[in-house]
Structure 1
């Protein structure tokens, strides 16, 4: 217990017991296993966790009172980097092989430096507006002010009645919790384009918008619905991070 990082070989040298005996004692008798620490984005203070519980509880109360109203009125906004080339993970590149087949080899590759920052806004019906940050510019108050004007026009054209009923605009911040795009849309989008090499921004953007356009309403609605589960977990875990 004094050194939880000690290895089996070090225990072997210290005790004189065999490697197999030590393994059996630890696993079969002491019921212990060696695991990695869980990495989290940042250390949350007590006040941060309290804030997360409070906000999640308030959202849940509103959601349970009228789920359809929340689905209709909520517009979520989030941004992500999209790379011209993002290599597949080792697990994603796995393939079936026969016992007599030679094992395939792949050269290790890295993510390309060329990338596009996409800001996506949408609701339970789908994407409402996408903006791509021009190269050499930064996201600031002026950028978001102009973006919201464009989004308002897109909502007027594509979501009749939403502005009149009042929009619940959600943009994620670090403490209360992520948007449904963080754990629903973005992982699936990036998995779809991963391993593909795009020659320029236009080719990458076409692939992204093609994927988003192929998704049906249920895809986006399930993302908003799964958000409810996150809020419940934040409350249950007293504001701590939720396991992915």
Structure 2
């Protein structure tokens, strides 16, 4: 399992979750968010960090008090995610599907080999950036508002 953060330009960070490890709020903050925010700050600069929005779904590690406190202490603004809305998560409607297509039918001898394949697939996806994904995401958000949370095609 991997934690992947990306923006319109491409992948920001990838963290492999050790086999058998449960992703807790503590793991999410210490291993995923800290690394991601440090890389993002390096990429966009300190001034532009205050204009960045973080979007993640409502998984327990994302909504835990520890995570909220950490993000607040770093002045990170969250883009809200409505409950039960996988159609509004770029990972669900784009990234997971693309990764499955790129990795389908392949077998790996070790976790290290699998991680190299995942990172390679993410690099291929990042070549053109993810700007179209975020355009689609905004369109989906607008539809969700228009249809007041009802399902739409």
Gaps of 5+ in 1: 1-116
After the TM superposition, which residues 114-193 of structure 1 pair with which residues of structure 2 at under 5 Å, given as runs?
A: 117-146=1-30, 147-161=32-46, 163-173=48-58, 174-177=83-86, 178-193=88-103
* Change beyond 3 A, Cα 1:121–1:162: farther
* Change beyond 3 A, Cα 1:217–1:232: farther
Give the TM-score normalised by the residue count of structure 2: 0.72
Match of 1:199 in 2: 109
Given candidates 235, 238, 244, the residue that maps to 2:145 is 235
Q: How many residues align?
A: 127
Contact 2:11 2:126 in 1 (8 A): no
| Offset of residue 139 of structure 1 | 1.4
CA distance, structure 2, for counterparts of residue 162 and residue 182 of structure 1? 31
* Change beyond 3 A, Cα 1:148–1:222: same
- Which structure has the greater CA radius of gyration? 1
Instruction: Answer with 145-154 or 222-231: which moved more.
Output: 145-154
CA distance, structure 1, for counterparts of residue 131 and residue 4 of structure 2? 15
Contact 1:155 1:163 in 2 (8 A): no
CA distance, structure 2, for counterparts of residue 213 and residue 163 of structure 1? 24
Match of 2:136 in 1: 226
CA distance, structure 2, for counterparts of residue 145 and residue 189 of structure 1? 24
* Change beyond 3 A, Cα 1:217–1:125: farther
Gaps of 5+ in 2: 59-82
| Offset of residue 175 of structure 1 | 2.9
As a proportion of its length, which structure holds more helix?
Answer: 2
Tell me the SS of whatever aligns to 1:138: coil
Tell me the SS of whatever aligns to 2:4: strand
* Change beyond 3 A, Cα 1:125–1:162: farther
Give the TM-score normalised by the residue count of structure 1: 0.47
